Amino acid sequence: MIVEDDKIISNELKKLLDNNGYETSTLKDYKNALEEIINEKPDLILLDINIPFINGEVLLQSLRKKSNIPVIMVTSINSEIDEALSISYGADDYITKPYNPNILLLRIGAVLKRTKTNYGSIQTELTYKDLKFDIQKGIIKKDNNEIELTKNEMIIFSYLLNHQNKIVTRDELMTALWDNSEYVNENALTVNISRLRNKLKEIGYPDVIDTRKGMGYILL
Amino acid sequence: MIVEDDKIISNELKKLLDNNGYETSTLKDYKNALEEIINEKPDLILLDINIPFINGEVLLQSLRKKSNIPVIMVTSINSEIDEALSISYGADDYITKPYNPNILLLRIGAVLKRTKTNYGSIQTELTYKDLKFDIQKGIIKKDNNEIELTKNEMIIFSYLLNHQNKIVTRDELMTALWDNSEYVNENALTVNISRLRNKLKEIGYPDVIDTRKGMGYILL
DNA sequence: TATCTTTATTACAAAAATGTAAGATTAGAG
DNA sequence: CTCTAATCTTACATTTTTGTAATAAAGATA
């Protein structure tokens, strides 16, 4: 979606993108821009900083409260402050007019690539050594093998994976697993670790969760 | 982590970052850079494009095969092609020397903010209207309320959310839920949808999964 | 080494998740 | 409007997940 008040530039951009395999739509002013955007859910927005009535940065700020749709700021003002501000407001990239069409296309490609796993969708696969961890289905795959993790095992494995090679205390894991409002046996964690270890062993990783007595666990 | 061969610039960068609350480490050349990076797991890398022996872009390319650690390219060559290339190789941002310290800090902040939920970690929260969906724990939160989803309900809700406002066929959902190797009753899906709907109703969203008879379902 | 504390393992029972079947509803074609 | 196919609801039985307790093993400390 192109948000740009200058019709000439807008058409130029549209033509460029249409010719390169993108579907485009255009908005000429800020009026209802937010609704239009939310409604249409474009994959990416090219946002002119100087669209009439409202500054593009204000629009970006409001948009960011509702959505993570990627935004590339387009501006004629080649000011470093604006560039930095765009980024801190949540723009995904920034380009100045006059723009080099090829650069613009590359940047669009890069932003889409960078954000496609995140925008609106859930990152489902995480890698640990040669294992693929599908958090959505709760399974770990290795070549042809595949083991299923239960919810608790998933939470523990995710947590360890997010802190790989760092020691994770038992308390941290307890908090990740259970609201500290509800009381559970201290040993419940130990049992769940044990179960996770067994499953990892099944798939050929017997000793990856190491005990650091008195400190916690570490995923190697 | 600063990867930069010019000691003066390297020290300057280090001082700037140290003074602004970051912990830094430095690498002076490409030798074993990849191992060092993988080993240390920095939160962000400032990568000089002209480090000795190997071009920074090559390093970046190899790194991207192993990790998504955010990288900001630093270069003295103010060439648009390099900038575009950096981005398409997977750099998260790009800055030219001489750099404005404040801009650099802002960009570092922006990149860290943008990537913190993704780097090495699992994106755990997704938003639907005013609900927060924690995929890792399988719970949906609304203000003080909170409902727990089972694995099947999570899979269905995730799938619908990833295709919000688009019609999703029953077959798609069946495939998302079960390997098509194992046979399950057609009705199993209906029952699971029903269960999910009840939970969504509990939390104040009674009619968000709409049936499109003969076609599938749609999340409004 | 002896002792004490931390962590592991196992078996078991309670709770939760899930597929099935039977019957009820509903939407849309004719 | 009527009929039929699609979808829904409910209840139930099986399977899975999970916490507990009792006992065992392993590390640390003296």
For residue B130, list chain A residues with Cβ-Cβ distance below 8 A.
none
Cα–Cα distances in angstroms (integers) from residue A133 to residues A17, A42, A147, A173, B57, in the given order: 36, 30, 10, 19, 29
Report cis status (omega within 30 of 0) of the bond before B101: no
What global pTM score does this model have? 0.57
More confident of the two residues B171 and B33: B171
Q: What is the pLDDT of residues B128-187, one digit of tens each?
A: 878 888 777 788 888 778 888 988 998 899 888 877 777 788 988 888 888 766 788 989
Q: B135 and A135: CB-CB below 8 Å?
A: yes
∠ CA B122-B115-A91 to the nearest 5 degrees?
135
Q: How far is B121 from chain A (nearest CA, A)?
A: 5
- Looking at the predicted structure, is the pLDDT value of residue B199 above 90? yes
Q: Which residues of chain A have pLDDT under 50?
A: 81, 117-123
User: Measured between CB atoms, does B38 come within 8 Å of chain A?
Assistant: no
Protein residue at shortest CA distance from C1' of D10? B191
Determine the nucleotide nearest to A188 by Cα–C1' distance. Answer: D19
Footprint of strand C on the protein (CB under 7 A): A 170, 187, 190-191, 193-194, 197, 211, 213-217; B 148, 150-153, 177-178, 183-185, 187-188, 191-192, 195, 211, 213-214
Edge-to-edge strand ranges of the sheet holding A26-27: A26-27, A2-3, A45-48, A71-75, A93-96
For residue B36, list chain A residues with Cβ-Cβ distance below 8 A.
none
Read off the amino acid at residue B211.
T
Supply the pLDDT for residue A217: 92
Supply the pLDDT for residue B114: 65
Q: A84 and B92: CB-CB below 8 Å?
A: no
For residue B139, list chain A residues with Cβ-Cβ distance below 8 A.
none
Determine the nucleotide nearest to B151 by Cα–C1' distance. Answer: C17
Question: Could you say which of A109, A122, A165 has the minimum Cβ distance to residue B135?
Answer: A122
Mean pLDDT of B71-84: 65
DSSP string, B106-171: HHHHHHHHHHTTTTTS---EEEETTEEEETTTTEEEETTEEEEPPHHHHHHHHHHHHTTTSEE-HH
Q: How far apart are CA B71 and CA B62, in angstroms?
A: 13
Supply the pLDDT for residue A122: 44
Read off the amino acid at residue B12.
E
- Looking at the predicted structure, is the pLDDT value of residue B81 above 60? no
User: Measured between CB atoms, does A84 come within 8 Å of chain B?
Assistant: yes
Q: How far apart are CA A81 and CA B102, in angstroms?
A: 10
Q: Do A141 and B141 meet the contact criterion of CB atoms below 8 Å apart?
A: no
pLDDT > 90 in chain B, percent: 10
Question: Could you say which of B41, B102, B164 has the minimum Cβ distance to residue A165?
Answer: B41
More confident of the two residues B202 and B28: B202
Phi, psi of A17 (to 5 degrees): -70, -45
Set out the domains of chain B in order of their start, with CATH numbers. 2-115 (3.40.50.2300), 125-219 (1.10.10.10)
- Which residues, 6 or more positions from A51, have their beta carbon under 8 angstroms from its beta carbon? A3, A4, A5, A28, A29, A30, A33, A59
Q: How far apart are CA B203 and CA B142, in angstroms?
A: 7
Closest of A8, A12, A5, A9 to residue A30, by C-alpha: A5
Nucleotides of C under 7 A from a protein CB: 6-11, 16-22, 27-28
Of A60, A86, A87, which to mutate for an interface test with B (greatest number of B Cβ within 10 Å)?
A: A87
Supply the pLDDT for residue A51: 56
Determine the nucleotide nearest to B195 by Cα–C1' distance. Answer: D9
Q: B122 and A118: CB-CB below 8 Å?
A: no
- Looking at the predicted structure, is the pLDDT value of residue B122 above 50? no
Directed axis angle between helix A170-177 and helix A186-202, to 10°?
A: 90
For residue A61, list chain B residues with Cβ-Cβ distance below 8 A.
none
Count the Cβ atoms, other than its own, within 10 Å of residue A79.
11
In which band, very low, low, confident or very high, does the pLDDT at B55 lie, cut at 50, 70 and 90? Answer: low
For residue A107, list chain B residues with Cβ-Cβ distance below 8 A.
84, 87
- Looking at the predicted structure, is the pLDDT value of residue B123 above 60? no
Computed from CA positions of residues A116, A121, A124, A128, in that sequence, does the dihedral angle turn out positive or negative? positive
Least confident of A153-157, B108-112, B197-201: B108-112
Q: A106 and B87: CB-CB below 8 Å?
A: yes
Q: How far apart are CA A24 and CA A31, in angstroms?
A: 19
Supply the pLDDT for residue B217: 92
